[in-house]
Every structure is written in C-alpha cells, then in structure tokens.
C-alpha cells in the first residue's frame, strides 16, 4: 500500500461513510472555506495574544488591577434591568455543571453521527481549554469576588476554585469558537451560515460581561481567558486545516 492509498483510506474513515447526512446532502456544505490565520500571520497573532496574557498575568499576580476590576464590576452591575439580568444569566447557563460537561462531548458526538468524523475529533479537542484553565488557576489561585467587596453582588451559583482565568470564557472561546469556525467553513447557504455563526459569536462575546455582572469573575479574569482561548483556537484551527487539506 502506498502512502497516498493510506491517506485516502484514513480520509474516507474521518470524512464519514456512505449514507451519512453529509454524503446525502453535499450541496449544503462547502469544503473550500478553510483559511483562518494562516502561516506566519497566525504565528504573529498567537505571539501577540500570549504576550498580552503574560502582561495580564503579571499585573494580576502583583495585585495591580484590583481597583479597576472592582470599578468595572460595580459599573456593570448598575445595569439592573430585568431583561438584561435575564440575558446575563442565560448566557452563563451552558458553562455551569452538569451542562458544561455534557454539551461539549454531545456536540462532537452529533458531528460524528452526521459524518464529520475529523471535525468531531477536533471539536472534542477544542474542549482542551478546560485543561488550560485548570492549569492556570492552579498557578494563580486568585480569589473570586465576594459579597464582602464593597457593593458587589454575587449571584448564587455552583462555582468554586480560583478566579483567574474564567473557565466559562475560555471554554466558550474553545468549544463554541471552533463550532463557529466549522459552521463558517462548511455551511453553504449564507443565511444559515451567518445565523449560526452570529449566534455563536454573540454567545462568546456576551459571556465575559455575564461573568462580571453575576459577580463570579473580575474583568482581568475574562480578558485573560479571551486572549488565551483565542490563542488555542488559532493553533487548533491551523492544525485542523492542514490535516483536512491533506486528507482531501
């Protein structure tokens, strides 16, 4: 068996078998939209993001952001309109257990059943942000906001551990960010593609303010998660793109 024959066999296995939804509806999917922060550009962006994270880590570690973090939380919590409050709670809901442990593998499972085998594997790998969050939290050990902080309200929820970085935010960037990338890459009908990507990106954009509003995290916790999660996402999509193009 030649190397090309082996690659084709692997490609067929990871690309889904006959009779999958993907194979039955080829016109609904577009495999040409695979570009995302390629090559040197991607490396430069990741380097800049990791540099920003290092600065945030240093500032938080030396307790130089406490006043700004508290001021931002108090200002955001002044927006106490019932609809805004409900939105902030709904946005954070997928990130709490048990749903936070059910949704990521379930999404990967659905992709697998639809015939997107390689995409399912990488979608599960996108959940690796949870390990990154756990590792950084173990190093930082930053206290979360409490009701003892002047004027800060803390919503009752199943939370614990270190505050830095925000597990919600970094997992949303990884899991739902990669899902948005797949939607942008594969869904051909523009209305459906834009709707799905827009909803997912809105969820990612709102989860940071949500975590601050609920009093579960500080501003710098969420910023660190956005830059760290984006770095991981760029690397992951880059690896996925290379493998997908090799298997085509």
Q: Which two tokens stand for residue 29?
A: 């999917």
Q: Which two tokens stand for residue 168?
A: 């919600």
Which letter, b or e, does each residue of 178-207 get, where b requires 16 or more Cβ atoms within 10 Å of its Cβ? bbbbbbbbbbeeeeebeebbeebeebbebb
Q: Which two tokens stand for residue 220?
A: 């710098």
pLDDT by residue for the chain (248 residues), tens only, comes to 454 554 445 455 555 555 566 666 555 555 556 555 556 788 899 999 999 999 999 999 999 999 999 999 999 999 878 999 999 999 999 999 999 999 999 999 999 999 999 999 999 999 999 999 999 999 999 999 887 767 899 988 888 788 999 999 999 999 999 999 999 988 888 899 999 999 999 999 999 999 999 999 999 999 999 999 999 999 999 999 888 888 76
The number of residues in the chain equals 248
The model scores a pTM over 0.85: yes
Residues 129/175, Cβ–Cβ less than 8 Å: yes
Q: Helix 219-247 to helix 3-14 angle, to the nearest 10 degrees?
A: 130
Residue 147 DSSP class: T
Give the domains, in start order, of the chain with CATH numbers: 3-247 (1.20.144)
């Amino acid at each position: 068996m030649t190397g090309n024959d082996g690659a084709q066999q692997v490609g067929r296995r990871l690309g889904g078998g006959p009779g999958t939804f993907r194979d039955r509806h080829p016109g609904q999917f577009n495999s040409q939209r695979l570009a995302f922060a390629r090559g040197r550009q991607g490396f430069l962006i990741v380097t800049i993001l990791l540099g920003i994270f290092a600065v945030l880590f240093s500032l938080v570690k030396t307790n130089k952001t406490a006043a700004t973090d508290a001021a931002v939380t108090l200002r955001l919590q002044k927006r106490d309109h019932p609809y805004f409050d409900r939105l902030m709670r709904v946005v954070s809901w997928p990130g709490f257990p048990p749903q936070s442990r059910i949704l990521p593998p379930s999404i990967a499972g659905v992709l697998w059943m639809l015939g997107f085998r390689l995409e399912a594997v990488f979608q599960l790998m996108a959940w690796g942000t949870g390990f990154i969050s756990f590792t950084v939290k173990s190093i930082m050990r930053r206290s979360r906001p409490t009701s003892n902080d002047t004027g800060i309200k803390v919503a009752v929820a199943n939370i614990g551990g270190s505050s830095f970085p925000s597990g919600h935010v970094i997992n949303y960037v990884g899991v739902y960010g990669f899902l948005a990338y797949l939607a942008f890459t594969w869904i051909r009908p523009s209305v459906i593609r834009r709707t799905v990507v827009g909803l997912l990106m809105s969820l990612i954009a709102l989860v940071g303010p949500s975590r601050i509003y609920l009093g579960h995290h500080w501003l710098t916790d969420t910023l660190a998660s956005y830059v760290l999660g984006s770095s991981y996402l760029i690397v992951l999509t880059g690896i996925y793109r290379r493998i997908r193009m090799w298997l085509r």
